[in-house]
Amino acid sequence: MLVTAIEARPLRSLERVRVPLGPGITSIVGPNGVGKTNLVEALYFALTGRSFRTSDRRELIPFGASLARAEATVRDDDGIERRLLASVSRTEGRRHLLEGEAVDPATIARSRPPVAVFAPDRLSLVKGPPAERRAHLDGFLAARWPARGELRKRFGQALAQRNAMVSRIAAGYGSSDALDVWDAGVADAAAPLVAARAEAVAELAPAFATALAELGLEDGELVYAPRAEGDAETIRAGLRERRDADLKLGRTSWGPHLDELKLNTAGRALRKYGSQGQQRAALLALLFAEREALLQARRVIPLLLLDDVMSELDPGRRELLVARLTAGGQTLITAADEESLPAAARGSMVRMPRPGVIDAAGGDADAEAA
């Protein structure tokens, strides 16, 4: 599955920009401030209906405009092209359409490649709160095992119901025995989620360590630290043991909603002790591990969006990175200058010399702005 074009019309600083994309690496080169990251965001928005930079999609709407739109053209393995259009307006919220029709998220997901993003804004995945890493891990679960895609949602619903009952009982309405049924619901949803997370991390950990070593950090570790483990009965018993504490707190204080995914090197948490360069390397290594896992298990290669990825890599690491990318799959890279790109990343290069201005610079890339 290949993304053949991205069009933003408008989105943030991009008034109307269209960039055809080919297989392999497409590089977007231009000085800071011309909209390279906005173009990456437009592609992510068109494919997923979300932004990797903000939870408020209305921030994508340019000043003075009423909406933001991004459209991606995707060619499937049979050569059929389909258009995915995402838009957000100030009054009507978000729309995500396939060939102009509103469809369910599962249909959208089947109509596009998986997509992974490296961007400076995404370093919070390494150094931010555990909730971001849990969400990312669960997103990988859904891509790796589509049948498990509802595990996170199912657990979240059960947890919300139990928390509501805990709050009600803590306020003096009802007996703690009423939590039995809600404990069972949480436990039944928690057990398969914990097991799936553990399986995913076990699969990713070796490839993460290998990729991190290539980027200059030895002894890399990807560690899943669950708050609750075991089968549903074990988790249910644990919830009952902590019932009094939960009633004092007014919420559920134990379970997979408090799990941690640790990115370490030599036993030290990169979240706390890693430099920014090391944290960037860890994020890249995680994305490469996920890409390898999806290729091996499903013969699917995620589209990689790498924004400003070269800036803190030495020339040797840049060559190693591009060697991985040229081994297969589709990648969009942004860079401030051509010299930071190894030769293998310059074949399909598009320049953005000024905000919103696109100029094809080599290979079979073509681009236009209007």
Domain boundaries for CATH 3.40.50.300 within the chain: 1-113+301-370
Q: Into which CATH architecture does domain 1-113+301-370 fall?
A: 3-Layer(aba) Sandwich (3.40)
Answer yes or no: is pLDDT of 40 > 50.
yes
Answer yes or no: is pLDDT of 356 > 90.
no
Nearest to 112 by CA among 222, 217, 2: 2
Q: Quote the pLDDT of residue 311.
A: 85
Over residues 172-231, the pLDDT tens digits come to 998 899 999 999 999 999 999 999 999 999 999 999 999 999 988 999 999 999 999 999
Q: Quote the pLDDT of residue 243.
A: 96
Q: Across the chain, what does the average pLDDT equal?
A: 91
Q: Quote the pLDDT of residue 174.
A: 86
**Bridge partner list, 75:** 2, 81
Confidence of residue 370 (pLDDT cuts 50, 70, 90): very low
Backbone angles phi, psi at 8, to 5 degrees: -115, 130
CATH code given to domain 125-300:
1.20.1050.90
pTM for this one?
A: 0.88
DSSP states of 245-310: HHHHHTS--SSGGG-EEEEEETTEEHHHH--HHHHHHHHHHHHHHHHHHHHHHHS--PEEEEES-S
Domain boundaries for CATH 1.20.1050.90 within the chain: 125-300
Q: Quote the pLDDT of residue 366.
A: 40
Element spanning 118, H or E: strand 115-118
Answer yes or no: is pLDDT of 367 > 60.
no
Over residues 120-142, the pLDDT tens digits come to 888 999 999 999 999 999 999 99
Over residues 151-179, the pLDDT tens digits come to 999 999 999 999 999 999 999 998 899 99
Proportion of the chain above pLDDT 70, given as a percent: 97
